[in-house]
Structure 1
Amino acid sequence: MRFKNKTALITGGGTGIGAAVARRIRSEGGNIALLGRRPEPLHAIAEEIGAAVVAADAADSVSMKAAVVTVVETFGGLDILVANAGGHGIGPTTSMSDETWDLSIRLNLNTAFVSARETLPHLIKSKGNIVVLASIAGLFAGPDAAGYVTMKHGCIGLAKSLARDYSRLGVRTNTVCPGWVTTAMADEQMEFIVEKFKLKSIEEAYALVTKDVPLGRPATAEDVANAVCFLASTEAAMINGAILTVDGGAGTVDLPTLAFSEH
């Protein structure tokens, strides 16, 4: 019951990692406010676990400010922000439109910044903490993904700045960087791999993209939720400004030596 009498606001809380974090915190006694733009998946998770729903755009200042007021009025305060909302930014730089670039900024970086800014006054009162969901794309560059890669690097920079500026006021901030995770959003990318390599299933695609990962598999949403909930708990009271990778060891691989591998 690490989160008894604690309230967590989870952006992008209706699916994937956000939903898994909500389930975990709720199972350990926490109050949950699920925030997102699509009410249907939010209400489905809320009904399943017993949570509040706030339909709002985490990148919109007015919408986010009103959402935070609702959460604080409902639960009497706010202790944890899980800045999980994100989106795509895929495509070659030479053909990426201004609209796609701007959307990547909004979905990946603005959502984290605006939600942090609007919740910080309440987190300072509660001596709470923030967990930002970035990606190993914030540490390395994948092909033809300049928008996504750049914004996830930005999320890490934002989290470090928050850790530097607000920890003396009692607010810790840390970042989780997942590798491949079996979520609906990743499934869409696996469909591209299935078509490109003429595979038979999404499962084969996941196996292909993780063949050089030391653990040899993608993460589950629950794997990532475990890391998020550790950082959000008092067990991590001395951890601030950290980057925790949940990638099965992908970031440890020395790419130029792959030709020597037997696996």
Structure 2
Amino acid sequence: MSTYLVTGGGTGIGAAVAARLAADGGDVVVSGRRREPLDEVASAHQRVVAMPADAADGAAMGRLVADVVELYGSLDGVVANAGGHGYDSVGDTSDEAWRSSLDANLTTAFVTARESLRALERSGGAFVAVSSLAGLRAAPETAGYTVGKHALLGLVRSIARDHGHRVRANAVCPGWVRTPMADEEMRVLVEGGGAADVEAAYATVTRDVPLRRPAAPEEIAGVVAFLLGPDAAYVQGATLVVDGGAHIVDVPTLAFDGKAGDAP
């Protein structure tokens, strides 16, 4: 029986990961700063327990890991999914916004990894960080988010390099996924006149993606479950892109694609 900790586990990808791991027979602790969504996930799935904590707070995460180990006897997998915004250009990002974005997108994963590594080393467990396609590419006016997600890949590689004899550490880079956070971005596009409604906005942002659609959270959860499981026993320090093929598109050639501007 395996025990997992999922940060940012109350909504979106984190909630889907918790549901998948529990369905596969694992015991899952979902964590985050807001208790209400965590409780909703826990009440919806057997084998899921809510334990609120700020993933960027070392003392809080240290206590959380200790509580998990005391409750279940071990910690076998950690999913660092907590994240946040960081939407502005470098020139327009304030000191406060910069610190907030890096705390949300990088410090949370660093602190979670640091506080859980000893427990993972004892169990021979696995660590998975949820980065983003923004960890490989730069979108407009998302400096804090882009830098944090890029750095997250370096964190995973450092964990694999230094602790890889006892812990597997890998990252996933999703593209557009239907989550509450992405829905907010779609509404911004709608309000700016770029789409008629949220559905049209998703169609617009994925029209040049080979699969022509956003992912469901459950599709990302399946990849995370693979990286945590025995079938990925020799996968170490890897970045697995789960974006419907967006990263393979050669942007300068889109003008030559007669269908490039058409909705799916």
- Which bracket does the TM-score occupy, shorter chain normalised? over 0.9
Matched, 1:237 2:242: no
Q: CA deviation at 1:109?
A: 0.3
Q: How far 1:89 moved relative to its partner? A: 0.6
Q: Give the Cα–Cα distance (whole angstroms) in 2 for the partners of residues 230 and 143 of structure 1.
A: 32
Which consecutive unaligned segments of at least 5 residues does structure 1 have? Answer: none
Measure the CA separation in 2 of the matches of 1:194 and 1:121.
Answer: 46
Q: Which 4+ runs in 1 deviate beyond 3 A?
A: none
Q: Distance in 2 between matches of 1:186 and 1:7?
A: 29
Aligned match of 2:23 in 23, 27, 39?
27
How far residue 198 of structure 1 moved from its aligned partner, in angstroms, is 5.1
**Could you give the per-residue CA deviations for residues 136-175 of structure 1, whole angstroms, max 9, x where no partner exists?**
101010001110000000000000110111111x200000
Q: Residue deviations 1:75-112, cap 9 Å, x none?
A: 11100000000001111221211110000010000000
Matched, 1:155 2:175: no
TM-score normalised over the length of structure 1: 0.97
In structure 1, C-alpha distance between the alignment counterparts of 2:112 and 2:194, rounded to whole Å: 41
Q: Matched residues in 1 for 2:258 and 2:172: separation?
A: 31
SS in 2 for 1:55: coil
> Matched residues in 2 for 1:185 and 1:198: separation?
18
5 Å matches for 1:198-209? 199-209=195-205
Aligned to 1:47: 43
- SS of the aligned residue for 1:227 comes to helix
Mapping for residues 142-181 of structure 1, pairs under 5 Å = 142-168=139-165, 170-181=166-177
Give the aligned partner of residue 251 of structure 2.
255
CA offsets per residue over residues 15-65 of structure 1, 9 Å max, x none? Answer: 000000000000010000011000000000101112111110000001111
* Residues 105-140 of structure 1, C-alpha deviations (whole Å, 9 max, x = no match): 100000000000000000000000000000010101
Q: Secondary structure at the match of 2:210?
A: coil
Gaps of 5+ in 2: 260-264
Match of 1:118 in 2: 115
2:262 corresponding residue in structure 1: none
Cα deviation for residue 200 of structure 1 reads 2.5
Aligned partners of 1:188, 1:53: CA distance in 2, in Å?
25
Query: How many residues align structurally?
Result: 258
After superposition, where does 1:6-17 map in structure 2 within 5 Å?
Answer: 6-17=2-13
CA distance in 1, matches of 2:180, 2:162: 35
Paired residues of 2:194 and 2:201 also in contact (CA < 8 A): no
| Structure-2 separation of matches of 1:218 and 1:262 | 22
For the residue of structure 2 that corresponds to 1:130, the secondary structure is strand
For 1:227, the aligned partner's letter is V
Q: Give the whole-Å Cα distance in 1 for the aligned partners of 2:155 and 2:178.
A: 26
Deviates more, 1:193-202 or 1:233-242: 193-202
Q: Give, as a single letter, the amino acid of the residue that structure 2 aligns with 1:214.
A: P
Answer with 66-75 or 121-130: which moved more: 66-75
- Percent identical pairs in the alignment equals 52
2:51 is paired with a residue of what secondary structure?
strand
**SS state at 2:227 partner:** helix
Q: Note the C-alpha offset of 1:197.
A: 2.4
Q: Please name the residue that 1:77 is paired with.
A: 74
Matched residue, 1:139: 136
* Aligned-partner Cα distance in 2 for 1:164–1:93: 31
Partner of 1:103: 100
User: Partners of 1:84 and 1:59 in 2: how far apart?
Assistant: 12
The RMSD of aligned alpha carbons is: 0.7
